[in-house]
Structure 1
Amino acid sequence: MSTIHSALLYLHIILGVICLVLFWLPVICQKGSKLHNLSGRVYYYMMLFIAASGVIMSSMVLIDPIAVYVTGKPLPAEAVAAFEQQRRHFSAFLLLLSLLTWVTIRHAYAVLEAKAELQQLKRLSLVLPIICLFVCSVYVFWLGWQSGTVLFMIFAGVGLVNALAFARYSFQKQVAARQWIIEHFSSMIGSGIALYTAFFAAGGRRMLAEILTGHWQIVSWIAAPALGLAAIALFKNHFARKFRVVT
């Protein structure tokens, strides 16, 4: 179990680093061009693997954290319960982030394929992950409330908002003219937010450990979401005017 987890983790990290760069190609190149379509498709499939591997790794820890992490000397009996609880709580949080990434990137691509055909967005393969994201967000928010972990509550709130927003878009009666362009763009930026959040929270937190100490470490988690939401706000009107999107 530990070997499988380690192999998935290495692939997860390698593809994540590649996607940090690849994310920008569809953003900066001409929309609808061959490079835009090809780079976007490669980025989509890599992000699906990143999200799926995150779900699998988190689930493995939720099932048996001892088998995943304790491969050498066994833990003292009195430390096992505390260790399992700590790892399971954090893995539930990582599961939330992985589900959020999966749902966001799938929604971005599904919107692009469906355009005005909303019925395509009501497929079980798209709706079920949104339901899972909603349920997981509620659970992680409860964990954060019980333990006083602000980080859990913040990202649980993000998960809830996104799950409701994706469901609202998918089950609306009709799509305004070219509205799908803004939805696709916003969701792709959302996947980038998830990607860069993971980067800043893992590698970035270590690099800034001497500067961001104590509670200030939460900045490494919220830096990417804050910048990403600002980017969506800045460019949303630009693309709406450029593509004559009806709101």
Structure 2
Amino acid sequence: MQLTFDILRGVHIFGGFLALAVFWIPIVTKKGGRAHNRAGRMYVVAMGGVSATAFLMGAYRLTWDAGPDADAIPFAWFLMFVSILSAATAWYGIRVLRHKRRTAPHRKPLDLLFPALLFASGVGISAYGWAIHFPLLQYFPILGLFLGGTQLLYWLTVPAKKSHWAVEHIVGMLSCCISTITAFLVFGAPRLLGVDSVNLLVWFLPTIVFVPLIIGFANVYKRKFDDRRLKI
């Protein structure tokens, strides 16, 4: 089992660094352009691998070997939650593009499963965090509650504005960026810096930085597309 875990960790690290290397390209390049699309696809593929390996490594820590660290179990739950957050937001960011012309509620099971799982895991992990008094697990999963709830609402309602798909694509992909950088700060940065822990504020820094960025980009595309109400 240890060999399997080491392989998963190697794939996870490679995918994580690839995602960190390219995530900024779609943000700064022309939206819909060649560089934007290519880097975006590369980022989604990398995050797919990162999410899958993170979930499996977290499950391994919970069921086979938690290790000597007293916080290994809480961090394993956090790793699994981040894997769900990353997968759900990346999937959502891609799928809203595939269905940008929809004029009715969208009820495809897989598109509803991811946000439902994200919402449920947010509830469960946050409750667990409060039970063990672990601040990272108390507050960070609230992001999953919000995103999972808003994704479900988006799919199950009729789009009211022309900008709906562009705004939701931005929300999905930049939310995935939050999970990418947060996971690096929680797991990667302490090891690279040779420290035992990082200030809690640093862990929440990606959320603090990216939420205004999401709002800013969303407002730009609302102004660009919503010169009139979408006619259904």
Fold shared by both chains (TM-score > 0.5): yes
Q: For 2:106 and 2:112, how far apart are their aligned partners in 1? A: 8
Find out whether 1:224 has 2:185 as its counterpart.
no
Find out whether 1:13 has 2:13 as its counterpart.
yes
TM-score (ref. length: structure 1): 0.82
Evaluate the alpha carbon distance shift between residue 102 and residue 121 of structure 1 in structure 2; reply closer, same or farther with a 3 A threshold. farther
Q: For 1:127 and 1:223, how far apart are their aligned partners in 2? A: 29
- Secondary structure of 2:92's counterpart equals helix
Q: For 2:150 and 2:191, how far apart are their aligned partners in 1? A: 33
- Secondary structure of 1:184's counterpart equals helix
Contact 1:59 1:91 in 2 (8 A): yes
Q: Which residue in the other structure is 2:62 paired with?
A: 62
Contact 1:48 1:102 in 2 (8 A): yes
Instruction: Structure 1 unaligned segments of length 5 or more: list them.
Output: 71-81
Contact 1:116 1:175 in 2 (8 A): no
1:168 Cα shift?
0.8
Q: Which residue in the other structure is 2:121 paired with?
A: 136
Alignment of 1:73-152 (within 5 A): 86-117=71-102, 121-152=106-137
1:182 Cα shift?
0.8
Q: Which has the larger radius of gyration?
A: 1
1:184 Cα shift?
0.3
* Aligned sequence identity (%): 25
Q: Which residue in the other structure is 1:235 paired with?
A: 217
| Per-residue Cα deviation, 1:156-199 (whole angstroms, up to 9, x for no partner) | 21111111011111111334213110110121111111111112
- Aligned CA-pair RMSD: 2.6
Counterpart of 1:166 (choices 151, 159, 172) is 151
Moved more, 53-62 or 222-231: 53-62
Contact 2:104 2:158 in 1 (8 A): no
Contact 2:119 2:145 in 1 (8 A): yes
Contact 1:116 1:174 in 2 (8 A): no
Q: How many residues align?
A: 229
Q: For 2:227 and 2:7, how far apart are their aligned partners in 1? A: 44
TM-score (ref. length: structure 2): 0.87
Structure holding more helix per residue: 1
- Secondary structure of 1:176's counterpart equals coil
Q: For 1:197 and 1:95, how far apart are their aligned partners in 2? A: 13
- Secondary structure of 1:174's counterpart equals coil
1:222 Cα shift?
0.3
Instruction: Structure 2 unaligned segments of length 5 or more: list them.
Output: none
